[in-house]
Amino acid sequence: MAVASPPQSIEEQRRWEGSLDQLRGLVSERAITGETMLLNMGPHHPSTHGVLRLLLELDGEQIVSCLPDIGFLHTGIEKSIEDKSYEKALPLTDRMDYLSPMSNNMAYAAAVEKLLDLDVPERGQIIRVVCLELARCASHLVWLGTHAIDMGAMSVLLYAFRERERILGMFEMLSGQRMMSSYIRPGGVWRDVPDDFLPTIKQFLNDFPAKVDDYEALLTQNPIWKDRAQGVGVIEPDVALAYGLTGPALRGSGVNWDLRKAQPYSGYETYDFNVPLGEHGDVYDRYLIRIHEFRESMKILNQAVARLEQVKGPYRSENRKYCPPLRSELGQSMEAVIHHFKLWTYGYDAPDDEIYNAIESPRGEIGCYIHGTGGNKPRRVHFKTPSFIHISALPVMAKGYLLADMVAIIGSVDIVLGDCDR
Amino acid sequence: MEIPAARNPVDVLRESFGEAILFVKEFRGETTVVVEAARSSDVLDFLRVSFGLVYNMLSDVSAVDYYPDDYGEGFDSDYRPERFAVSYHLLSMLYNRRLRVKVFAEEEDPRLPTATVVFPAANWLEREIADMMGIVFEGHADQRRLLMPDNWYGHPHRRDYPLGKETVAFSFNEAEIRKHKPFATD
């Protein structure tokens, strides 16, 4: 069998690898001459959390530059939404950030509500807060498990997924679906919470704080974990702002910015909670912030569940021009049948104008830009997703650190490629 | 340290840029300022550093295509002189408010100056628009495609780019559909 001999010269190696000219200006000159090594990481590398490909330029083990390559999970969600009426586009948003679909639903629903000038009843807002905070916990649990397994702490994953399973069970109670829930809809939520939901979530709220302590016992003071995480992937606050980081990645650098506090939506201004902040902007601080966010989410959930028991009333707007009537009304009211038929065939018209609305997802600011046409389909929907911004800032965070730190840095900004590519 | 009082961005921009501010509108509490494309990076930089404004963060850059019929001179309810528009969504953390700066690009050869010199965050957001809408950002350091493959033809988010779909197979048209898919048989 003929075996190709290794390249004997730089010229020969270049012929093997194809042209480096397209990378000129993006990697340093030393990579063009072959002094530093270009290494491909992904798209199937287990710690790239999906299908992220990185082209790393290495000087020994040190990262000189890093070129992320995305688009492997691009599904054209924004294009598909342009061909659907506003209500029917909602299930597509589940598929963007598949670890916290509730946040995507909320981002889209809140944007449509703003475009239509539609109000949400109080009970609907409380149920939304419950869903959003449960989604935050579920998403952070996946992040915790995978981040830990990336850095060599194998057992945390099993503990984290055990608790996540309970949250997904609650989502199934609410919406009939564990993950792709499509529960939060323009005007409120799809249906009221079932009777057995409150006991279940109370049991969960009772158990969960002790579990968070367990995770902390495994990691926070663990010397190996600290060695891997402290002082790695540092990003200064002004750099983080310039690159548009949001969420825990920004708060890890000590910038006090949380849309739940700064620009409250869904009644977040009435809940008592704190925004945890880091100081060093490294992997360890971003880890601590998410751990503290579990506890703050528990605080919010406790208050929201108490309100859920007191506040009765509609869970979805009763503006029948935008929200379909209840099933029970259909047999009694001709008008309800007309509304039902109109809403599920044609949908509703939205103004020919543009709005941008942002909420705080577990990963950061998820913004939704909608430009209506005056008809029942939008002209353009654009999602500004936190993972997209965070991956574009990876080169800044990774520069100068070791190849092994890259895994920690990717994990610490908590990326989801479905969120990034849309 | 005393924080300077917030100033109205529209008044300040009109004062400083005059003719370059083409149109201002309010909708649902959001302010949109349409500026001349050639001055956009000056306006963004001005908004970022001026006291009383300090729009220090670029939240989003999104593009919209007004094809097929509601743009041009005759469209009077809104200001839409050209086919493409790019919106820069700015956020001022100090004053906790947002502002949309909008620029228009012509249909034949859409070109706009890049904002990456002002906000590094615009890097990928503009690359995405260049890829999906086909608007060239002059001065952008990285002109490669971002989401679509390098050899892709066309720009999918344009309104005249057809949304592909699969014909649903029923018993009457199944044979016809199978004919076009020689490799799809089990």
- B21, containing H or E segment: strand B21-27
**Rounded to 5 degrees, what are φ and ψ at A268?**
-65, -20
Nearest-CB residue to A371 (from B64, B77, B123): B64
Tell me whether B151 touches chain A (CB under 8 Å): no
C-alpha distances (whole Å) from A361 to each of A7, A61, A91, A97 are 49, 35, 17, 10
Nearest-CB residue to B156 (from A79, A263, A358): A79
* A294 burial level (CB within 10 Å; 0-12, 13-18, 19+): buried
Amino acid identity of B135?
A: I
Higher pLDDT, A36 or B69: A36
* pLDDT for residue A353: 87
Name B43's Cβ contacts closer than 8 Å, sequence gap at least 6. B13, B17, B20, B33, B35, B101
By DSSP bridging, strand B136-138 and strand B111-113 are parallel
Domain ranges of chain B: 9-179
* pLDDT for residue A27: 80
Question: CA of B124: which chain A residue's CA is closest?
Answer: A392
Amino acid identity of B134?
A: G
* pLDDT for residue A303: 93
Nearest-CB residue to A78 (from B70, B145, B157): B157
Please answer whether residues B13 and B33 qualify as being in contact, where contact means their C-beta atoms are separated by less than 8 angstroms: yes
CA–CA distance, A160 with A146 (Å, rounded to integer): 9
The CB density around residue A322, as the number of other CB atoms within 10 Å, is 23
CA–CA distance, A354 with A412 (Å, rounded to integer): 34
* A231 burial level (CB within 10 Å; 0-12, 13-18, 19+): middle
CA–CA distance, B81 with B69 (Å, rounded to integer): 12
Taking only Cα atoms into account, the Rg of chain A, rounded to an integer number of angstroms, comes to 24
Amino acid identity of B73?
A: E
Q: CA end-to-end span of chain B, whole Å?
A: 72
Q: For residue B162, which residues of chain A lie inside 8 Å, CB to CB?
A: none
The yes-or-no verdict on residue A13 having pLDDT over 90 is no
Please answer whether residues A87 and A105 qualify as being in contact, where contact means their C-beta atoms are separated by less than 8 angstroms: no
Interior CA angle at A131 toward A129 and A137, to 5°?
105
Name B140's Cβ contacts closer than 8 Å, sequence gap at least 6. B114, B116, B123, B126, B127, B130
CB contact under 8 A, A392 and B121: yes
Mean pLDDT over all residues of chain A? Answer: 88
* pLDDT for residue A2: 43
| Cα atoms found within 13 Å of the Cα of residue B146, Cβ hemisphere only | 22
* A105 burial level (CB within 10 Å; 0-12, 13-18, 19+): buried
CATH fold, domain A77-421, is Cytochrome-c3 Hydrogenase; chain B (1.10.645)
Q: How far is CA B167 from the centre of its chain?
A: 33
The domain B9-179 belongs to what CATH superfamily?
NADH:ubiquinone oxidoreductase Nqo5 subunit (3.30.460.80)
- Token output for A363: 């990963």
Name A63's Cβ contacts closer than 8 Å, sequence gap at least 6. A56, A57, A398, A399, A400, A401, A402, A403, A405, A406
Instruction: Pinpoint the alpha helices (H) of chain B.
Output: 9-17, 40-49, 122-133, 174-179
Q: How far is CA A368 from the centre of its chain?
A: 13
Q: Which residue has the tokens 């994990």?
A: A411
B 78-97 residues inside an 8 A Cβ radius of A: 78, 87, 89, 93, 96
The yes-or-no verdict on residue A176 having pLDDT over 80 is yes
Nearest-CB residue to B57 (from A117, A244, A351): A244
Taking only Cα atoms into account, the Rg of chain B, rounded to an integer number of angstroms, comes to 21
Higher pLDDT, A46 or B7: B7
Is the reported ipTM for this assembly greater than 0.90? no
CB contact under 8 A, B56 and A389: no
Higher pLDDT, B3 or A370: A370
Question: CA nearest A80: which of B164, B34, B166?
Answer: B164
In tens, the pLDDT along A319-349 reads 888 988 988 888 899 999 999 999 999 989 9
Domain ranges of chain A: 16-69, 77-421
By DSSP bridging, strand B84-92 and strand B136-138 are unpaired
Please list, residue by residue across B131-167, b when 16 or more beta carbons sit within 10 angstroms of its beta carbon and e when fewer do.
Answer: bbbbbebeebeeeebbbbeeeeeebbbbbebeeeeee
CA–CA distance, B13 with B173 (Å, rounded to integer): 61
The yes-or-no verdict on residue A47 having pLDDT over 50 is yes
The CB density around residue B5, as the number of other CB atoms within 10 Å, is 8
**Rounded to 5 degrees, what are φ and ψ at A228?**
-75, -30
C-alpha distances (whole Å) from B23 to each of A275, A306, B17, B104 are 39, 49, 12, 11
CB contact under 8 A, B64 and A242: no
The yes-or-no verdict on residue A294 having pLDDT over 60 is yes
The yes-or-no verdict on residue A123 having pLDDT over 50 is yes
Using 50 as the pLDDT threshold, list the residues of chain B that sit under it. Answer: none
* pLDDT bucket at A3, cuts 50 / 70 / 90: very low
Beta-carbon pairs below 8 A across chains A and B: 108
Tell me whether B139 touches chain A (CB under 8 Å): no
C-alpha distances (whole Å) from A16 to each of A12, A56, A377, B176 are 6, 18, 50, 44
